[in-house]
Amino acid sequence: MVADLSQDRSRLGRSSTAERVADILRDRISEGFFRPGQRLSEESISEGLGVSRNTLREAFRLLGHERLLEHRLNRGVFVRLPSVADVSDLYQVRRVLEGAAVRREPTERALTLIKEAVSDAERAAAQDDWQAVGTANIRFHQALVSLNASPRIDEAMRQLLAELRLVFHVMENPRAFHEPFLDRNRALLGLIESGRPGEAAAYLDDYLDHAERLLIQAYEPSR
C-alpha cells in the first residue's frame, strides 16, 4: 500500500527554505558577524532575507539544536556563548576529525583550498584585519577536514566550526590569539604537502592543545 503524501508537499518547500536560511545564518556566525549574547531581530532578519517569520523561526529552531542559538522565555532568540565544557568537547571532536584527515593523502582540490585559506589569513593579518584572519582560519580547518572525503563529516565540521567561532569572541586580543597560528597553519600545510602524515598528525595534536589552552585561559584567566 502506497501512502498518500500529497498533503506533505507544502512542508517540503517550507523545510528546504528554513534549512537555507539556517545555512545563511550559520555562515554569518562562522564569519564573526553575530556575537555571543546578541539578540536576533525576527523583523529585520525576515525582512532582509525576504522570508516569513514562521520560516525564520524554524531556522532558529534548527540552529538551536546545533547549540548556536538559544531561546530565552519572553525575551527572544539570542546567539549562544559556549561554555568551557563546550570548548573541551569541541576540541575533542576536532582531534578525531582533523587527526584522521591529515593522515590521508591529499587531493589537489583540497590542497588548493588549504593553500588559499593560509594565504588569505596572511593577507588579512598584513592588513590588521583579525576578524578576517579568524574567518580564514575557519576555512583552513574546514578544508583540512575535506581530506576525509566525506560529505557527512564536512557538514558536522561546518556546525562545529560555527560554534567554535562563537568561542573566539571571548578573546580580548584577537591578534594575540590568531597570530601564532599563521605560522602554524603554514607549517602544517608543509607537512601535508610533503607527504609526512605521521608528523602532520603529531603536529596537529600539539597545535590543538595549544589553541584549547589559550581559549580556556580566556574563559578562566586565573588558570
Look at residue 152 and tell me if it is in a domain. yes
**Which residue among 54, 79, 104 closes a domain?**
79
Same domain? For 154 and 173 the reply is: yes
Predicted local confidence at residue 11, as pLDDT: 43
Q: Are residues 41 and 105 in the same domain?
A: no
Does 15 share its domain with 37? yes
What pLDDT is stored for residue 1 in this prediction?
A: 38
CATH number at residue 154: 1.20.120.530
Where does residue 6 rank: exposed (0-12), middle (13-18), buried (19+ CB within 10 A)? Answer: exposed
Residue 65 shares a structural domain with residue 100:
no
Q: Per-residue confidence at 221, pLDDT binned at 50, 70, 90?
A: low
Residue 6 lies in a domain: no
Q: Same domain, yes or no, for 66 and 147?
A: no
- At residue 171, the pLDDT reads 85
Give domain status of residue 185, yes or no. yes
* 203 falls within a domain: yes
Taking the C-alpha atoms of 176, 178, 183 and 184 in order, what is their torsion angle to the nearest 10 degrees?
A: 120
pLDDT in tens, 20-71: 889 889 988 988 888 899 999 998 888 888 889 999 999 999 999 999 999 9
Closest CA to 139 of 46, 30, 61: 30
Q: Are 26 and 63 in contact (CB under 8 A)?
A: yes
The percent of residues in the chain predicted with pLDDT above 70, rounded, is 92
Distance (Å, whole) CA 105 – CA 178: 27
Q: Kindly state the helix (H) or strand (E) to which residue 72 belongs, with its residue range.
A: strand 69-72
Q: Are residues 200 and 93 in the same domain?
A: yes
Query: Does residue 26 share a domain with residue 68?
Result: yes
Average pLDDT over residues 158-184: 92
Would residue 207 count as lying in a domain?
yes
For residue 172, is pLDDT > 90?
no
- Is 196 found in the same domain as 94? yes
Q: Is 4 part of any domain?
A: no
Over residues 108-133, the mean pLDDT reads 96
Are 194 and 100 part of one and the same domain? yes
Identify the domain containing residue 67 by its residue range: 11-79
Grid cell 580580548 is found at 172
* Tally of domains in the chain: 2
Do 53 and 107 belong together in one domain?
A: no
Q: Mean pLDDT check: name the lowest of 108-117, 181-190, 212-221.
A: 212-221
- 42 with 118, same domain? no
Q: Is the pLDDT of residue 212 over 50?
A: yes
In a domain, 146, yes or no: yes
Residue where a domain terminates, one of 79, 94, 119: 79
Tens digits of residue pLDDT in 70-117: 999 889 999 999 999 999 999 999 999 999 999 999 999 999 999 999
Q: Are 53 and 97 in contact (CB under 8 A)?
A: no
Model confidence, pTM: 0.84
> With 80 as the cut, is the pLDDT of residue 177 above it?
yes
Strand partners of residue 40? 77
At 13 the pLDDT is 54
- The CATH code of the domain that includes 20 is 1.10.10.10
Last-in-domain residue among 79, 100, 133? 79
Confidence of residue 18 (pLDDT cuts 50, 70, 90): confident
* More reliable by pLDDT, 79 or 6: 79
Please report whether residue 110 resides in a domain: yes
HEC per residue, the chain: CCCCCHHHHHHHHHHHHHHHHHHHHHHHHHCCCCCCCCEECHHHHHHHHCCCHHHHHHHHHHHHHCCCEEEECCCEEEECCCCHHHHHHHHHHHHHHHHHHHCCCCCHHHHHHHHHHHHHHHHHHHCCCHHHHHHHHHHHHHHHHHHHCCHHHHHHHHHHHHHHHHHHCCCCCHHHHHHHHHHHHHHHHHHHHCCCHHHHHHHHHHHHHHHHHHHHHHHCCCC
- Asked if 130 and 179 sit in the same domain, the reply is yes
